[in-house]
Amino acid sequence: MKRHKDYTIPYTGLKIGRHEFEFKLGNSFFEQFEYSEIGDCDIFIDVTLEKQATMLVLDFDIEGVIVTLCDRCQEPIEVDIEATEQLIVKFGDYTGSIEDEILVHGPGEHELNLAPYFYEYAHLAMPPKRVHDSMDQCNQDVIAYLSGTDDDGDDDDVDPRWEKLKDLK
C-alpha cells in the first residue's frame, strides 16, 4: 500500500491525552485506490486520538456526500453518509493486527497511516441499497428494459414441455 503523507499521524511526539485532527477527502483520494465505488465526494473525518501510555484509541466521525451509481439504473446518484468508527493501536514487541479494530505497533513504529482506514470506513458508511428516491429520477430506458415493457413480441412462444408440466397435479 502506498504511503499517504497527508493522512499520517506521527504519534511519537504527542503528549499523553486527547488530540483532535480533521481530514477532508475528495475524488483525488479515492482515485489512488483500485476498485473504489466512490466517485466524486466531499467527506469530512474528525479523528479524536486519545494517547495513553500503552495504546492509542482513535475515534472517527465521518460525514459527507458521495457520488456513486444507482443500483437500479446505474446512473450517478448522490448519497449522504454518516458513521462513527473506532480503532485501537496497542504498543507491543511486534507490528501486526489482533482483530480488525485492534492493531499492534512495535517499537520501530512512530506514525499511523490512516488512509486505508478512511477508504474502508467511507465504503462501509455507504448504504447497502443505493437507489434514487423516486423511479422518475432513474434512467427511463433502463427502467423500461427491466420492467419488460420493451416488447418485441417473442414472449408468446411457450415451450410445449412447460405446458405439459402445468397439467401435472
| Three-state secondary structure of 65-79 | EEEEECCCCCCEEEE
Query: 5-37 pLDDT, tens per residue?
Result: 789 999 988 999 999 999 999 999 998 888 888
Chain centre distance of CA 111: 24
Instruction: Report how far residue 46's alpha carbon sits from residue 83's, in angstroms, rounded to the nearest whole number.
Output: 11
Query: 86-110 pLDDT, tens per residue?
Result: 999 999 888 888 877 888 988 888 8
Instruction: Report how far residue 122's alpha carbon sits from residue 37's, in angstroms, rounded to the nearest whole number.
Output: 10
Please tell me whether the overall predicted TM-score, pTM, comes out greater than 0.85 for this model. no
pLDDT at 150 over 70: no
